[in-house]
Amino acid sequence: MRIIAGSRRGRRLVDWEESEIRPVRDFVRGALFSIVSDFVPGARCLDLYAGTGSLGLEALSREARSCLFVDRAREACTIIRRNLETLDLIDVGEVFEGDGIEAIARFARRGRRFDLVFVDPPYGRDLIPPTLRALAEERALAVDGLVVVASSKREEAADEYETLTLADRRRYGDNLLLFYQWDERTDDRSSSAKPH
């Protein structure tokens, strides 16, 4: 697996194939970043259920300001740290070993807000709805931010979660990408919001 574009284009990620991690397939990752390209430069990113970290690393290569990688598996966190070191991105990447939903609350309490959030949980564990609810309830998304969910077409998710509204849906074979945006109509921060 390689970085697709940006300053680290063509650089190979460390070997993950001996693990049980399921990274986002290259063609889906390429499609995802074609869609969100305007959101990436300067973005504060959050990569939940990060696995190899391929989504957050791709964002950093494309000039995201920073990325917080979250995964509960120690093996995944080790792989992400190795990738950050290999790609010389250790200064802009932070790795947190722990539960994704708990991490949302933990960092929101510290005042952390994210412009671009990737949600790519293991399939079949029904983690997407509670994760989106937590992002909405904790106001973890910055004003005008975007949440991208990578899932199987068999996974279910609602069109709205409080301050998050489904803006787009794309299917690539058995893979589904869902794009949720902050909705000013349901957020009390809207009075001070300054849309782009």
pTM, two decimal places:
0.89
- At 4-55, the pLDDT tens digits run 998 999 998 886 555 555 556 778 888 999 999 999 999 999 999 999 999 9
186: exposed, middle or buried (Cβ count in 10 Å: 0-12, 13-18, 19+):
middle
Burial class (CB in 10 A: 0-12, 13-18, 19+), 74: exposed
Question: Where is pLDDT greater, at 172 or 88?
Answer: 88
Q: For the segment 59-98, what is each residue's pLDDT rounded down to a tens digit?
A: 999 999 999 999 999 999 999 999 999 999 999 999 999 9
Domain parsing of the chain, residue ranges: 26-187
Distances (CA, A) of 175 to 29, 170, 184: 11, 8, 29
Q: Which CATH superfamily is domain 26-187 in?
A: Vaccinia Virus protein VP39 (3.40.50.150)
pLDDT recorded at residue 23: 59
